[in-house]
Amino acid sequence: MLQGRRIILGVSGGIAAYKAIEVCRRLVDLGAHVTPILTDAAHNMVGPTTFTALASEPVKTSLWHDSDPIPHTRMGQNADAIVVCPATARIISDLRTGRSADLLSATLIATAAPVVVCPAMHTEMWEHPAVAENIEVLADRGVIIVPPEEGRLAGGDIGKGRLAEVATVVDAVVALFADGPLGGRTVLISAGGTREPIDPVRFLGNRSSGKQGHALAEVAAAMGAEVTLVTTAGLASSSTITRIDVETAAEMHEAVAGRARAADVVIMAAAVADFRPVGASTQKIKKANGPPTVTLEQTVDILGELGAGKPDGQVLVGFAAETENLRDNALGKLKRKGADLLVANDVSAPGVGFAHDTNAVTIFGADGSVREVSMNDKTAIAMAVLDAAVERLPDIESKNQ
């Protein structure tokens, strides 16, 4: 999502500096080249060794360096973005006034790249008129402000000033480069395994964790799409994604069916139950009564229904978790369901499929194409699937005619 982007991560001396470590890791995971700059005060909160280990190059701290007499100018000119996380009242004031007191403040005024400022401070400081005025001036100049949240602060009290969540900070950076191949498109994605109740405490389910579906949603959003995620998984999702939480196949069908026709791309990554109990008991079934008889009925074939009613220009993607005869089973499902793409994986293989952070898939196209995607993390798999979908989308102009 941020492949090749050069991001400067400025860390100032707030107690929330420890959260910048996770921001650094996530930016690197998204492909960014991250250069950390720590202020002298930041060293009181976090150690430079951690950032050096996680970032793309060692921590920078000083304006004065024998091998680079003007580090602020070089870094400021080469940066695609600068993120200040956390931003203290001091660094916010320096940026507003143009005071170049250290390497970070000098770099901030030596760049034409977009700047993202993530304030974190005590409530009284955040609400002080001088700080409020500085924030207003910076916002008017085009600086992106990721406002602090309300919550428990370092002093133990509750108030506004807590650093925004790591995902919110990363979302703001990704949004800077979101004019991607799915800009102006809507993408509907399902994720997770459905649960069909037997009684109030038991259910029929499957091993799907939802990780691949959530990765697809995050990548689609980073590629510029307006994303709706229908999920059964308890995983976090970015604030830019419209999320609908469901549990059963019937709930997923209702959520997907009402939104599918308006989507440019529909990806059914969820493992939807094929069968459900005919009638769930309203009370817990007691062991003393002996083994119960559970009668099953078929659930709605959501992918098949979507394929039968697919509007012109829409790209429909299905998933198939197989344990044998992957190619034959996948091609048969692709044809039966009326999908444009079928993503198949052998979930019996080590490191593939359910609950793993990695996956390996074969993407079959209704046009006869076949693409093997070898073992990789699920974000990389998501990129491959979405690239294949983008290739099949009509251009925006022809869609609107």
Question: Which is the catalytic residue, given 44, 78, 134, 206?
Answer: 206
Between helix 166-176 and helix 19-29 the angle, nearest 10°, is 40
Catalytic residue at 206?
yes
- CA separation, residue 89 to residues 14, 85, 86, 120, 122 (Å): 9, 12, 10, 8, 10
The strand pairing partners of 82, in sequence order, are 8, 115
- Report the first-to-last Cα separation within the chain, whole angstroms: 30
Name the burial class of residue 231, with classes exposed (0-12), middle (13-18) and buried (19+) by CB atoms within 10 angstroms of its CB: buried
Active site residues: 206
